[in-house]
A = this chain, B = another copy of it.
Amino acid sequence: MQMGEGVEWALHSCLNLGWNEGEAATAARLAAFYDLPAAYLNKQLQALARAGILTSAPGPRGGFRLGRPLEKITLLDVVVAIEGAEDAFRCRQILKDGPGGSTEVDYRETCVLNGAMRRAELAWRRELAAQTLAEIRDTVERTFPGTPEHTRERLSTLRR
Contacts and interface: CB of A to CB of B under 8 A. Distances in A.
Main secondary structure of the interface of A (DSSP, over half): helix
Contact of A136 (B9, B33, B116, B120): B116
A155 to B, nearest CB: 10
A90 B1 CA distance: 11
A29 B149 CA distance: 64
Nearest to A16: B98
Contacts of A3: 1, 88-90
Nearest to A135: B116
A136 B123 contact: no
Contacts of A36: 94
Given A8-B113, A91-B8, A124-B123, A98 B34 contact: yes
A75 B123 CA distance: 15
Interface in A117-154: 117, 119-121, 123-124, 126-128, 131, 136, 139-140, 143, 146, 150-151, 153-154
A86 B1 CA distance: 9
14 contacts: A1-B1, A1-B4, A1-B84, A1-B88, A5-B90, A8-B92, A12-B94, A12-B95, A12-B98, A35-B97, A36-B94, A116-B131, A116-B136, A123-B123
Q: Which 4 A-B pairs have the closest CB atoms?
A: A120-B127, A124-B124, A34-B94, A99-B150
Contact of A75 (B91, B99, B117): B117
B123 A126 contact: yes
A104 to B, nearest CB: 16
